[in-house]
Amino acid sequence: MSAIQRRSDNDMPNIILLYADQMRADAIAAAGNPAIHTPNLDRLAAEGVLFSHCCSTTPVCVAARYSLLTGRREGQTGRWANNRPQIEPLHDTLPALLGSAGYYTHSIGKMHFSPTRRHYGFHRREVMQELPTWPQDDDYLTWLIAQGYGHKREIHGVRNLLYVQPQTSPLPQEVHGTWWCGDRMEHFLRTNADRRFFLWTGFVGPHPPYNVPAPWESMYALEDMPFPIQVDRDEETLPLQMRMLRYYANYENASEDRLRRCVALYYAACSLIDHQVGRILNTLEELDILDETLIMFTGDHGELLGDFNACQKMSPYESSVRVPLLMRWPERIEAGRVCDDLVGCTDFLPTFLDAAGMDHPVLEELSGQSLLGADGGGHAQPRDEWVTCYGTGASRWLSLRRPGLKDNYYCDNGWEELYDLDADPTEAHNLLLEGAEGARATADEMRGRLVAWEISNGFPESTVQDGELRNFGVEKPALRRNNQFPNWVNYIPDDWRRNLEAPGLGIEEALAREDTLDIEELDLKFFKENGGSLAGSRWEGLLERY
């Protein structure tokens, strides 16, 4: 086989990959959520296929993205979390493969690859990172400075103290990062409509901070927002990983209104992304290339969003693991189809090569299948199980899911969970704790499958011992909170640094329209100990108490 075996240029579709960061599978109205407004994503679902069981390979940004980029699992990419190995594994990448077939390949927005400016097979990259280091490496930051916003420290929202707390962006929507992605996509389409292209756009949202600009921040009323599930669940029934994520959230003193406000802002961030999707659909229609373009909308992982009184991802629970997946291409996809196949991002590279008619040797090395294999969209041979994993050594957990059933094993202390997802979709009842009939035998069999998978695809040297997944005997969770501050401000000239807004002013601006949060409810002691400052704000002297 050869990469040259492909369709003619006239038969190859354009390919657009729209990639949200930390977007839950239920954050789309078409997925059955009446509380959220996503008319353009709903249109993609109505005119294409919605995959109801798309799962992350590893629910954290870097690892999931490298699996998409290469079509390979963590043991081959060397990414088990947001780690960045010093030596890059040499693999064919998705844009490089499509480029060899004649596509012009272009990326916009957040990719979360490292080093940032490596090309990774793209002909051109327009970079927007959530935590840029060098201003010159970040196209969005460079552009934002030129628009007169070089004095802003927290261009993607305040992390540290307000990371998963209600806040709004002081930036006008027209210069917000999500809007910039829409502008750059529209410009790309208008200047490249006459050639075959692959466009991958990565949005920073709805990943926290929940820094939505006006008027989007007022889009949703608190009383209309769903309340997070199992907020009061006893810690003794949760794994150490979830106890850490509870602490990380700093929701100990959170009111019901504050939790609903977080949901409202998260949904608003999703609606803002949806608006950019609408802009792109309209532009493709105007250019008369919509139906010759394969469009995929998906994300890297979900978000707990207050479920279990926790936040973030890095958990095998449904709100962390499941992601949206929509595809539209009238030539091969049936409109209005809902597909229940177990799928994930390792299927995307085979799907795009299939669409391009490419028959490449790399496909023989991959576990993924084309999502165009079945009539109307889906796998030609649906898989009956899927493994999601995270971490290495004592931090590692593995999760095996089958239709309606899931087994989670945590290497830190050997905690194990078995959930009947059909009867218990919110994962409230660990069948092993409740002593359900047959639960132990089922979990043992599924854990045996996890051992076999880990040996073939994961990091067995750190997790498998004597044919079993290890128990490291960890007794307490590693408690931490977010302490990330803007790094790029350390790499600018002194005169520029002197013109930056005071650190506390950015926090005050972020909270200017928020009434569900009292700053003294947060962990100001941790904030101060890790270099936080409220200088320039109305709370300037508050940290002296800590």
pLDDT in tens, 321-351: 999 999 999 999 999 999 999 999 999 999 9
Q: 320 and 175 in one domain? A: yes
pLDDT band at 2 (very low <50, low <70, confident <90, very high): very low
% pLDDT > 90, the chain: 92
In a shared domain, residues 139 and 241? yes
Looking at the predicted structure, is the pLDDT value of residue 280 above 70? yes
Tens of pLDDT, residues 30-52: 999 999 999 999 999 999 999 99
Give the confidence band of 1 by pLDDT, cuts at 50, 70, 90: very low
Within a domain: residue 498?
no
Q: Looking at residues 126-133, what average pLDDT do you find?
A: 94
**60 pLDDT more than 80:** yes
The pair of structure tokens assigned to 292 is 């010759």
What does pLDDT average to over the chain? 95
pLDDT of residue 78: 85
pLDDT digits (tens, 9 = 90+) for 406-422: 999 999 999 999 999 99
First to last CA, the chain: 67
Q: Are residues 185 and 157 in the same domain?
A: yes
Within a domain: 105:
yes
Number of folded domains that form the chain: 2
494 in a domain, yes or no?
A: no
Whether residue 4 is predicted with pLDDT greater than 60 in this model: the reply is: no
Identify the pLDDT of residue 115.
Answer: 73
For residue 501, what pLDDT is reported?
95
pLDDT at 303: 99
Contact 204, 130 (CB under 8 A): yes
Are 211 and 166 contacting, i.e. CB atoms less than 8 angstroms apart? Answer: no
- The span from the CA of 110 to the CA of 450, in Å, is 32
Domain CATH code at residue 457: 3.30.1120
Q: What is the CATH number of the domain that holds 125?
A: 3.40.720.10
Per the domain annotation, does 499 fall within a domain? no
Q: SS3 sequence, 271-338?
A: HHHHHHHHHHHHHHHHCCCCCCEEEEEEECCCCCCCHHHCCCCCCCCHHHHEECEEEECCCCECCCEE
Look at residues 381, 400, 428 and tell me which one is the last residue of a structural domain. Answer: 381
Spatial distance between the Cα atoms of 185 and 183, rounded to a whole number of angstroms:
6
pLDDT tens, residue by residue, 480-519 = 999 999 999 999 999 999 999 999 999 999 999 999 999 9
The DSSP bridge pattern shows strands 14-21 and 293-299 to be parallel
Where is 62: in which H helix or E strand? helix 61-70
pLDDT at 400: 99
Indicate if 262 and 391 belong to the same structural domain. no
The C-alpha atoms of residue 461 and residue 393 are separated, in whole angstroms, by 9
pLDDT of residue 3: 42
Q: And the tokens for 430?
A: 């660990």
Taking the C-alpha atoms of residue 232 and residue 229, their distance in angstroms, rounded to an integer, is 9
Sign of the CA dihedral with 155 first, then 62, 309, and 275 last: positive
Average pLDDT over residues 120-142: 94
User: Is the bond preceding residue 403 a cis peptide, omega within 30 degrees?
Assistant: no
Task: Say yes or no: 422 and 371 in one domain.
Answer: no
Are 304 and 395 in the same domain?
no
HSE, side-chain direction, 13 A CA sphere, residue 402: 12
Closest CA to 458 of 381, 382, 399: 399
Residue-range definition of the domain harbouring residue 462:
387-469
Q: What is the pLDDT of residues 449-466, one digit of tens each?
A: 999 999 999 999 999 999
Supply the pLDDT for residue 84.
Answer: 66
Q: How far is CA 25 from the centre of its chain?
A: 11
SS (H, E, C) 232-262: CCCHHHCCHHHHHHHHHHCCCCCCHHHHHHH
For residue range 198-214, what is the model confidence (pLDDT) as tens digits?
Answer: 999 999 999 999 999 99
Confidence of residue 236 (pLDDT cuts 50, 70, 90): very high
66 lies in the same domain as 137: yes
